[in-house]
Amino acid sequence: MLHLLAQAYLVDGDQAIYTTHGFLIYPIAILGAGATPVVAPEKNYTADVDTILAAVTNKTKMVFLANPNNPTGTALSFDEIKRLHRGLPGNVLLVLDAAYAEYVVRNDYESGIELVATSENVVMCRTFSKIHGLAALRLGWMFAPAHVVDVINRIRGPFNTNGPAIAAGIAAIEDVEHQERSRAHNTRWLNWLTEEIGKLGLTVTPSVANFVLIHFPQTKGRTAEDADAFLSARGLILRQTTAYKLPNALRMSVGTEEANRLTVAALSDFLAQS
């Protein structure tokens, strides 16, 4: 969906905005359409409405915003999203990427459904890859104004999703119990990981998604790269974030109770030995 939107609405000479630590697909999709990616600085690893609006020019045609964001786990309130939308020209398409929306339990958050329903230049993209656990099926969906849906329908491949993936997606939507159980598990262990890793002396960016961003010192023997090697040797795989301009951090997904406890214990051992 993200690539299709870029192909449909961006041409040579256009600009599209994303934030400093935004999803890496955004600049790839923008460049693939022949347009120029423009980076809007974040504040405290969080997208900032004012810097996004300051980056808008007469060449801007699209704004990509992951909310919550990967890999920081931060999110903007619905009031801030609406403020962003009000500040954008009508010919700029606001793409809200709400891949992790199902995990958010904050009262001030809204995935974008209301704004899409009342606007002509906002779309919301969602995925079955996260809370539904169907990443390998590559299934996603978009809620958008009718004129945008019409354009995307005319340029997408005729068989761009397969039958088994669609059947699995329908079953996943109907399995409300699984979604509620997954959200409850995530909320419990997200809080636990944030607290326990913080006790070790490491900084954790407050997250509303299903992962935490752990920051490491630049001291030799205690860096994110050192920690990654130590954890990997124990079979604990975290995500390096160097490509996201976060070379001193690792992203840890919320796992099973066993995996969460093993990782915290391993981090404690790593810091003790180094």
Q: Going residue by residue through the chain, which has 274 residues, state the pLDDT in tens, using 9 for 90 and above.
A: 999 999 999 999 999 999 999 999 999 999 999 999 999 999 999 999 999 999 999 999 999 999 999 999 999 999 999 999 999 999 999 999 999 999 999 999 999 999 999 999 999 999 999 999 999 999 999 999 999 999 999 999 988 999 999 999 999 999 999 999 999 999 999 999 999 999 999 999 999 999 999 999 999 999 999 999 999 999 999 999 999 999 999 999 999 999 999 999 999 999 999 5
* pTM, to two decimals: 0.95
Tell me the residue length of the chain. 274
Strand segments (E) across the chain = 15-19, 36-40, 60-66, 93-97, 122-127, 140-143, 203-205, 211-215, 239-240, 249-253
Q: Is residue 91 helix, strand or coil? A: coil
- Domains, in order of start, for the chain: 2-174 (3.40.640.10), 177-273 (3.90.1150.10)
Q: What token pair was written down for 219?
A: 């001291």
Q: Say if CB 266 and CB 231 are below 8 A apart.
A: yes
What is the DSSP code (8-state) at residue 103?
G
Tabulate helix, strand, coil % of the chain (nearest 5): 45, 20, 40
Burial 251-268 (b: 16+ CB within 10 A, else e): bbbbbeeebbebbbebbe
- Alpha helices of 89-217 — where are they, by DSSP H? 113-117, 146-155, 163-174, 176-199
